[in-house]
Amino acid sequence: MLRGYVITSAHEQARAANVDSLIQQLPLVQKATAIYPAFDHVPFAKKILATSRARSGRTFLPGELGILLSNRRIWMEIQHHHNDQDHFLILESDSQLNNKELLLQEFDTVTNNYDLFFWGAWFGHMVLQRSTRKKLSSAHEIGTPYMRSVSCAHGYSINRKAARYLLKKTGKFKHPVDEFKRYIEPGQLRVGGVSPELISQQVTESLIDADNRVGRTNMVWIKLLTIRNKIIAHFS
């Protein structure tokens, strides 16, 4: 039974139709109100943003703080109100389902074997360790991801053990929520992923705009890192 949350806000009118579509396709997914520091009161926000630079060498952006707080609120809900066997899908307002039928068909079977599972990550560039890969369908594999290839938080599922672990690890607001590789220590959680991804994220114009120098640089950098990650994952 696929249950979960989609993080959204009344301030995201441009994404409202997509959120409604996600809930229509996955009726047991409910809206979770996003925290926007620009509009919502966040206690000690300025201090948190300033302290993050001392801890990590870079300052949290207000939006990054809001995304982390929004995910933490869901993790708290899972920790306090559900049992260890329950697994919940967490989506963002710009998430897209690439194969709803396969997701619904395999969700329970797959998540029984993991504490944290990535149904999509890093614009489809997540790679799986070769020694762990198993067939999910004729076109998809599951396995343990090479954690340096895991980024983004637009399509992952989590149980209470992982929620409790991540609440503890993110308590000092050191890195953005989608930097899972910085939070998860080897052997602490059963982490899995699927490739190609079943849940993707709408790519913003700034990332793909041909006239945007930063966007072009990002795409080239991602491709280079993906080549490196595939080589490492092949031998692991």
Band of residue 207 on the pLDDT scale cut at 50, 70, 90: very low
What is the predicted pLDDT for the residue at 157? Answer: 97
pLDDT at 81: 80
Q: What is the pLDDT of residue 38?
A: 76
Instruction: Show the 3-state SS of the chain.
Output: CCEEEEEECCCCHHHHHHHHHHHHHCCCEEEEECCCCCCCCCCCHHHHHHHHHHHHCCCCCHHHHHHHHHHHHHHHHHHHHCCCCCEEEEEECCEEECCHHHHHHHHHHHHCCCCEEECCCHHHCCCECHHHCEECCCCCEEECECHHHCCCCCEEEEEHHHHHHHHHHCCCCCCCCCCHHHCCCCCCCCEEEEECCCEEECCCHHHHCCCCHHHHHHHHHHHHHHHHHHHHHHCC
* Residue for token pair 């913003």: 204
Average pLDDT over residues 139-146: 96
Q: What is the pLDDT of residue 123?
A: 80
For residue 155, pLDDT beyond 70: yes
Residue 167 has pLDDT above 80, yes or no: yes
Helix axes 160-169, 62-81, angle to 10 degrees: 140
Query: Can you tell me the distance from the alpha carbon of 47 to that of 37, in angstroms, rounded to the nearest whole number?
Result: 13
- Going by their DSSP bridges, the two strands 29-33 and 3-8 should be labelled as parallel
Average pLDDT over residues 104-108: 97
Q: Quote the CA–CA distance of 89 and 114 in Å, as a whole number.
A: 13
| Mean confidence (pLDDT) of the chain | 86
- Which one has a higher pLDDT value, 183 or 105? 105
Q: What pLDDT score was predicted for residue 231?
A: 82
Q: Which residue has the tokens 């340096």?
A: 148
pTM of the model: 0.86
Each domain of the chain, given as residue ranges in start order, spans: 3-203
- Segment 7-33 mean pLDDT: 95
Judged by average pLDDT, the poorest of 44-53, 62-71, 124-133, 193-202 is 44-53
Angle formed at CA 19 by CA 72 and CA 59, multiple of 5 degrees: 40
Domain spanning 3-203, CATH architecture: Alpha-Beta Complex (3.90)
Cα gap 26→51, rounded to integer Å: 39
Residue 230 has pLDDT above 70, yes or no: yes
Q: Looking at residue 154, what is its pLDDT?
A: 93
In which band, very low, low, confident or very high, does the pLDDT at 215 lie, cut at 50, 70 and 90? low
pLDDT at residue number 1: 86
| pLDDT of 63 | 83
pLDDT higher than threshold 60 for residue 34: yes
Burial letters for 26-41: b for 16+ Cβ neighbours within 10 Å, e otherwise? beebeebebbbbeeee
